[in-house]
Amino acid sequence: MTKVLIIDDEKPILESLSSILLEEGFAVCTAKDGKEGLAIFKKEKPRIVLLDIWMPEMDGLEVLRLVRETDPEAVVIVISGHGTISTAVEAVKLGATDFLEKPLSIDKVLEVISRGLAGGNNGKERTGDDVRIEIARGFEGCRQKTIGKSIVAYGMGLFSGVKTGMILLPMPPGTGIIFEQVPEGERIPAFVDYVYSSGNASSIKGKSCTITTVEHLLATCHMYGITNLLVKISDEVPIFDGSAQEICNKIEEAGIIEQNQGIEPLVVKKKIVLRNLPDGKYLSIEPASELEIDYRLDQPRPIGVQQYVFRGGKSAFLREIAPARTFGSIKDFERLEKMGLAAGSRVSSVMSNVILLNNEEVINTDLRFPDEFVRHKILDLIGDLYLITRPVIGKVVARQTGHLENIALVKELKQAFCR
């Protein structure tokens, strides 16, 4: 029987959690503060610890450090009634398996326990059925995948200008990619039905929460074949240096786990052309043997005319596309700042997270590729395509298009091939 230790200074939490976990077949012990909890932990050696952060005398983060020193393998789930993404990220960085916000949902408690045990002795697999989406299964040649362990990433929000972070967690087959907003706890699937675009970025919207700039993370998931993932975050995926390079590094750190169920790629069987686009814009997708993107960008100086054809998988993506950064003119960012947007890219922050242009040249960095601008457009497109929730096989031809057109194409793909 798996032992669970609950450390919380709120008596109702101790009583309610104890009752439910006992019914689920766990052996439960409780402590009302950190010192008592550490003493019980050393004596009973529980496999799982549910640990409140805000407690008198010794807070939960200090208890977490001491628990980790005693038993690095224990599953420690931190809980808090005053959760923020920075607190959650700090807890996971210190060794917590996961982070939960009060008031607690018992389904989420059981889910994170199950995930922490990796299919352990409780015999139950919980996956957050409140927002679970059915992904197209059954294609044995293409396995579903998740990451090998929980990871955290820090950065600045491009539009919020706030230092933020996110926690990426493995999920079981058939879950899909899910964003969970901290501290509200609302879960939003990375699926086209939940998407809206401002033109500057792609975002997903739930009943009361919005998560912005999801495209670089989704592009990375697309190219690594990650189909099942939980992303705990505040309101915006960090921009990092404007590229997907840091996200790729984090995924490499976590590792990839191939799961025991398949996923059916979306294979384009007929050509789809977006109609009624403004002059100069064009976007289509047609049958091909792999994902291929042919993008032509035609802009005033200093960008000029750039064209790039991307084909292939993860290796080509890491080498050719992932390092390409977000870009824009200094006038555009100044205009967004006046509107209360793009605070993370303000000129006074020295611009380490976007490529800034004036009428003549790049003014804040050296380019990684002579054609870095068109490569970044392809990065965005790869991410937006993954809002169909499965790998896409087809050739995309794009001219002068952005997020708005990308999302429109994904909606056409859903209508044509996902009935």
- Over the stretch 167-212, which tens digit does the pLDDT of each residue have? 999 999 999 999 999 888 899 999 999 998 767 899 999 999 999 9
Q: Is the pLDDT reported for residue 135 higher than 90?
A: no
- Over the stretch 12-51, which tens digit does the pLDDT of each residue have? 999 999 999 999 999 999 999 999 999 999 999 999 999 9
At 128, the pLDDT band (50, 70, 90 cuts) reads: very low
At 160 the pLDDT is: 72
Give the pair of three-digit tokens for residue 74: 């224990």
| 222 has catalytic annotation | no
Residues 320-324: what's their mean pLDDT? Answer: 98
Q: Which of 216, 222, 376, 403 is catalytic?
A: 403
Q: Model pTM? A: 0.82
Indicate the fold that domain 266-417 takes in CATH.
lpxc deacetylase, domain 1 (3.30.1700)
Extents of the domains making up the chain: 3-117, 143-262, 266-417
At 199 the pLDDT is: 75
- Over the stretch 390-399, which tens digit does the pLDDT of each residue have? 999 999 999 9
Q: Is the pLDDT reported for residue 288 higher than 50?
A: yes
CATH architecture of the domain 3-117 equals: 3-Layer(aba) Sandwich (3.40)
- Over the stretch 84-106, which tens digit does the pLDDT of each residue have? 788 888 888 888 989 988 888 88
Give the pair of three-digit tokens for residue 47: 């496999």
Q: Is the pLDDT reported for residue 347 higher than 80?
A: no
Q: Whole-number mean pLDDT of the chain?
A: 88
CATH architecture of the domain 143-262 equals: 2-Layer Sandwich (3.30)
Pair 416, 288: CB distance under 8 Å:
no
Q: Which residue has the higher pLDDT, 100 or 244?
A: 244
Looking at residue 201, its amino acid is A
Q: What is the largest CA-CA distance in the chain?
A: 73
Positive or negative torsion for Cα 388, 390, 394, 400: positive
